[in-house]
Amino acid sequence: KILKASSFQIAMINLVGLIFTVPFLMLFGRGTDRYGPKTPMLLSRIMFIPVPLVYALANSIYDIYLLNVLTGISTAFANVSFLAYILDSSPTEDRGKYVGLYNTVIGFVTFFGSLFGGFLSQFLTGFYGLYMALLITYMVSFAGRFTGAILFIKVKERRRYPPHMLFFEKYINGIRRFIKR
């Protein structure tokens, strides 16, 4: 309603994200195998932080399309790196269980987070109007994503990768030192 987008334009949002997820899966898969899953996991979480802010401040459906280019890439990072981390961390005989549990948790969090966001914005609309209700809901989502991303700084690699292959490790260590202050 706010962006006055048609049903077709709304459907295109997911398609744009998908177009930028699929080609990057193989590329990020090779990178994750070479450098380890920790950095791509953290980068994917960081890349998801601005999503609610962009939705809150978007002036056009094209802003949302551009955002979905970023989320498509971060989805590829997440899909590959989380699976690699699970495979590195789990016992060989239980890998299927660990992957299944991960997918179940992600499904529940996605479902209930969306449900909560919808209920919150619907509830707040009665008090503040649609635009302000959505803005408040997006700020709650932003805070949750930011907090969740920070927690990934503490993730440890489960397998040894040669030091020269730990991509962005010095930057992550700098962020850790900054947070500890």
Q: Is pLDDT of 163 > 60?
A: no
* Closest CA relative to residue 28, chosen from 18, 47, 41, 45: 41
* pTM summary value: 0.77
The rounded Cα 25 to chain-centroid distance in angstroms is 15
**pLDDT 10s digits, 109-136:** 999 999 999 999 999 999 999 999 999 9
Mean pLDDT score of the chain: 88
DSSP state of 50: T
Q: What angle do CA 28, 33, 38 make, to 5 degrees?
A: 80
What is the pLDDT at residue 123? 96
Q: What angle do CA 79, 52, 81 make, to 5 degrees?
A: 15
The rounded Cα 103 to chain-centroid distance in angstroms is 14
